[in-house]
Structure 1
Amino acid sequence: MTTMPHEHERHASITIDQEAALATSAERLTREFAGTFGRETIDRSLHASYADLAARATVPNYLPLLTEKFARQRLRALAKVDGLQVDGKPTVLFLCVHNAGRSQMALGFFQHHAGEHAVGWSGGSEPGERINPVAVEVMAERGIDIAGEYPKPWTDEVVRAADVVITMGCGDACPIFPGKRYEEWTLPDPAGWTPEGVRPVRDEIERRVLSLLAELSVPTRS
């Protein structure tokens, strides 16, 4: 059985209130994953996720909420890797350097067009501190809200659980697992660009996402 990587089991400064919030999250996740994972695995995932996010968090008050979301993703990935939960939905992971622009826009389009028919995740080799506000702005123009997303690192279980890994500029830092389908989308990094500059990148990302969904035979919203 796969376990959370030991290198992630490091300590991070945490307040009493945050510890209490994580305990509440652990209760929710324990109920959600009942019959799949025990409390020890849940707690390990939460604290590893907290450690991964705490170093770059700009709004500490949101850390417990973001930690729970990240831990839920990792646990779902772990369940798929271990064959404990199999729903047949294709899973696509979008990776870029900072997980703040390109990969977040790709994930936004993927989730918008695929709905419940596929699973999308994103991550970065060197996660930034926040989502690119211009990426948020130009996606909102298309009716897609990515403001609630957050930069996060990729983890081994998430990469292993993905059926397709789309990389965007992370080069040798991107994780490689033999036998997995990889695609490199050569797209410029829109960090620091104006909305006028980012829109063509956004539109090209949507085109590629729709093409990928068609290849995977995933029904899309009209």
Structure 2
Amino acid sequence: MNDHAEATSPLDTHVLERTAERLAARYSGVLSPDVVERVVFESYTALSRTARVRTHLAALAGHFAADRLAALAHARDGSGLPQVLFVGRHDTGRAQIAAALLAHYAGDAAVVRSAGTDPGSTVDPHVLRALAARGLELGQVYPKPLTDDVVRAADHVITFGTAAAVSFYPHADHQDWGADRTVTGHPEDLEAMVAEVDERVRTLWGTIRP
């Protein structure tokens, strides 16, 4: 049995092993199969710490691992689109809002990620509703643990009062946009928060767009 598979169920282990094989083929010549496998199983372990429902955890870990591996590959070759990382405490509020807005404005012209230093279990439903009201249906989004590979890959690191917990890499532009305030369900407060983040995101995109 795979050395990483001890803490997983047999079914999840099978899914993760197949995922690792597929991703290893994708990054052949760029990342070693051992690195790919380690990232896949680490991603599963990281997400399992906060998962309330484990039914689709292996599949979700595959998506998370694929994103982390893309970041690793980008960090190694230093090419490609600008990469932007938003880091909140739980990755359930303002970081998700900022990432969704920038992804909307940038389209395929940037790679946008969000992460949490202490990730929650689900994205705040108030956030999802506020973004849906702006026509942004996020689909399957989830709070992601902060990992060094996505920080290292980022050209722009935007923190929400979490700068002290994020590794500093001199090649990247680091900004802190203030504490990650609690999201409330009050429509006016929520809209004000989204509008504030939206203004900052528009300004950021105006300065970094290719």
Provide closer, same or farther for how the CA distance between residues 111 and 206 of structure 1 changes in structure 2, counting only shifts above 3 A.
same
Tell me the TM-score normalized by structure 2: 0.91
1:82 aligned partner? 76
**Residue of structure 2 in register with 1:113 after alignment:** 105
SS of the residue aligned with 2:115? strand
- In structure 1, list runs of 5 or more residues that go unmatched: 1-8
User: Residue by residue, what CA displacement relative to the aligned partner does 1:149-191 show, whole Å, maximum 9, x if unpaired?
Assistant: 1111111121111011001122522332345311111265233
Displacement of 1:55 after TM fit?
0.8
* Matches for 1:207-222 after TM superposition, within 5 Å: 207-218=199-210
Paired amino acid for 2:54: P
Post-superposition shift, 1:17? 1.1
CA distance in 2, matches of 1:33, 1:44: 14
What are the equivalent positions in structure 2 for 1:104-143 lying under 5 Å apart? 104-143=96-135
- For the pair 1:34 / 2:28, whether they are aligned, the reply is yes
Question: Structure 1 residues 148 and 12 mapped into 2: Cα distance closer, same or farther (>3 Å)?
Answer: farther
Would the aligned equivalents of 2:155 and 2:171 in 1 still touch at CA under 8 Å? no
Offset, 1:70: 1.2
Counterparts of 1:93 and 1:60 in 2: how far apart (Å)?
Answer: 26
Aligned residue type for 2:34: E
Question: What's the secondary structure of 1:120's corresponding residue?
Answer: strand
CA–CA separation in structure 1 for the residues paired with 2:5 and 2:196: 41
Percent identity over the alignment is 33
Match of 1:63 in 2: 57
* 2:9 paired with 1:47: no
Coordinate RMSD, CA, aligned? 2.0
Kindly provide the CA deviation profile for residues 116-159 of structure 1, in whole angstroms up to 9, marking residues without a partner as x: 10111111111011100100010011111224111111111211
TM-score between both structures, scaled by the size of structure 1: 0.86
Structure with higher helix content: 2
Give the unaligned 5+ runs of structure 2.
Answer: none
Partners in 2 of 1:117 and 1:23 — Cα distance? Answer: 32
The residue number in structure 1 matching 2:7 is 13
Distance 2:51 2:115 in 1: 15
Could you list the structure 1 runs, at least 4 aligned residues long, displaced by more than 2 angstroms after superposition. Answer: 9-13, 171-180, 190-196
Query: 1:127, 1:16 → 2: CA distance?
Result: 26
Output aligned runs, 1:195-214, within 5 Å: 195-214=187-206
CA contact (8 A) 2:90 2:116 kept: yes
